[in-house]
Structure formats: structure tokens, C-alpha cells
Structure 1
Amino acid sequence: MDVDRVDCVGALVYDEQHRLLVVQRANEPGRGLWSLPGGRVEPGEDDPTAVAREVAEETGLEVMVGRFVGEVERDGPNGKLYVIRDYQAAQVGGVLAAGDDASDARFVNRDEFHNLPTATLLASTLAQWNALPG
């Protein structure tokens, strides 16, 4: 059976206190769970463009996209496989407010992060990448 691969991106955005930007997903997959801002790469977009668009849509923040951090694969509905490439990004503007596909958005420290219901394998992946919030 052919797997339907869906290209996605995510952003690791930290504030001055090294708190991590997370969003609470408003829709499936993972409704109610906390994750990194991100989503599908639209036709014609490169990864940095998609990262900046998704962060703006979900959090209201403008970011400058930096280095590639890592890639994960997650099973999605209907036999889809989400291939998610995560990038560092730095806030350069905007005002934090939950937007498209997010019911909440906030910066969290490590204790707050570990007390949130997060998306599957997010915490362990960030730990592997040495990317947990401060």
C-alpha cells in the first residue's frame, strides 16, 4: 500500500527567558493537545515560508526562520504520514494571540511544558534535540 506523505513544518520559538512557544490544537489531529506551531507546506512554498506563515496564522507572531533542527514522522488519519521538519525561529514582530487552528498560544517554561498534555512524542523528541524550554 502506498503511503500518502504530507510535508509539514514546525517552529521552535523561544523568548528572552528561553520559554518555548506552544499552541493548543483546536482541530484534529490532536485537538486539545499542546504542540509546536506549524502545519502543512502549501504548494509552491519552501519550508521557511511555510514556517513563517503557520506561526503567524496560529500565534499572531512574525518570525525570522533559522536553522533546521530535525525531522519526525507521525501517523495521520486515513493512512497519511506527516513528515514534519522543525526549524528554529526568532520573533521579530506581532502580538501573541491564538489564531487559525489554535485555541490557545503561550510561552512556557520547562515545568509548565511538562504539566501540559502535549502531542505524541513531543517531549521526548525535544529532549533528544536538546530543545526543551529553560
Structure 2
Amino acid sequence: MPEATDPDRRLPQIGVGAVVLSAGRVLLIERGKAPAEGTWSLPGGLQELGETVAQAVAREVAEETGLEVEVGPLVEVVDWIERHADGGVGCHFTILDHLARPRDPAALPVAGSDARQARWVDLGALADHALHPVILRVINAALAHPAAATAR
């Protein structure tokens, strides 16, 4: 993602995220750049010009984790807005989070591009990663989606 303080951004940016589920686990990354550097999150990033949302989801997961995924349905839309102390907007991303599953469930993630770390995390161990409440809400929305039964 671009720096949150980029003065040339005056419009919300379109972002994508992936809730990749497999065998009672979810794929998480530790963010390596702003915004939210050093926090655990879902893989994702910005959609590029000429790219469909599904293509963006698959590309971002591959760039950040090395895994190929089958992109499933939209599960949540998140407006991520960070404000400066004076009330001005530091960044605004509209993030389209999709359910996804790995093409190879045995493949291990390897951190790349914007990620410091990438790993499978047991759904029962999410509390160990201090996830932002919005990330937990998105994961729960994905788990509640009818398509999640075939993605777990």
C-alpha cells in the first residue's frame, strides 16, 4: 500500500483483501510497511489499473505469501480511514475482502513484498496475534458465509 501520508492522494484507494481458509486455519501476514506496519492482518493491497478485483486478490496473496489461491465471494467491504490529530485524513482505503482457498493446501507461505512474515494460524489461536477488531470481524464474516464450508 502507498504511504499513508502521500500528499497526492485525495480520493479513497480501492484495496482488496483475502480471507484464505484451509483445514481450520487462516492465512495471516505481518505488515512490513505503513499503514499498520508491524501488525498482523489479512493479505491484500491495492487494485491496479486494468485489473479485476479477483485478479488483484490473487496477485496480492501471491506477492505477500507466495501462495496461489482460488478467489471466492465477497464477504465484507471495509472503509479504513485514518485521521491525523487535526482531523485531516491520513489515508482512506475501501477494501473489498474476499473468501479464498489455497490451490495447494499443503503449501507453506513465504513472506514477500509488503509482508514481514506470513503464516497459517489456527482459527482458535487468533487472539495470539492481536488482530484489529475489524480484521476479526472480516474473518468471522468469511466463516459465516455459505461458501466457507467448502473453503475450510
TM-score bracket, normalised by the shorter chain, equals: 0.7 to 0.9
Q: Which one of the candidate residues 51, 55, 62 is aligned to 1:49?
A: 55
1:28 and 1:80 map into 2 onto residues whose CA distance is 10
1:110 and 1:89 map into 2 onto residues whose CA distance is 15
1:72 is paired with a residue whose SS is: strand
1:110 and 1:95 map into 2 onto residues whose CA distance is 17
Counterpart residue number, 1:13 = 20
Is the CA contact (8 Å cut-off) linking 1:67 and 1:88 kept in structure 2? yes
Is the CA contact (8 Å cut-off) linking 1:70 and 1:85 kept in structure 2? yes
1:107 and 1:126 map into 2 onto residues whose CA distance is 13
In the alignment, structure 1 residue 96 sits paired with structure 2 residue 120: no
Q: TM-score, normalised by structure 1?
A: 0.86
RMSD of the TM alignment (CA)?
2.2
Counterpart residue number, 2:148 = none
Q: Which has the larger radius of gyration?
A: 2
Further displaced range: 4-13 or 75-84: 75-84
Is the CA contact (8 Å cut-off) linking 2:19 and 2:139 kept in structure 1? no
Counterpart residue number, 2:96 = 85
Q: CA deviation at 1:80?
A: 2.9
1:10 and 1:131 map into 2 onto residues whose CA distance is 15
Any stretches of 5+ residues in structure 1 without a counterpart? Answer: none
Counterpart residue number, 1:123 = 136
The count of residues paired between Structure 1 and Structure 2 equals 130
2:131 and 2:80 map into 1 onto residues whose CA distance is 14
1:115 is paired with a residue whose SS is: helix
2:137 and 2:18 map into 1 onto residues whose CA distance is 16
Any stretches of 5+ residues in structure 2 without a counterpart? Answer: 1-9, 84-88, 145-151
In the alignment, structure 1 residue 60 sits paired with structure 2 residue 70: no
Q: TM-score, normalised by structure 2?
A: 0.76
* TM superposition outliers: structure 1 runs of 4+ over 4 Å: none
User: Aligned pair in 2 of structure 1 residues 95, 130: CA closer, same or farther (>3 Å)?
Assistant: closer
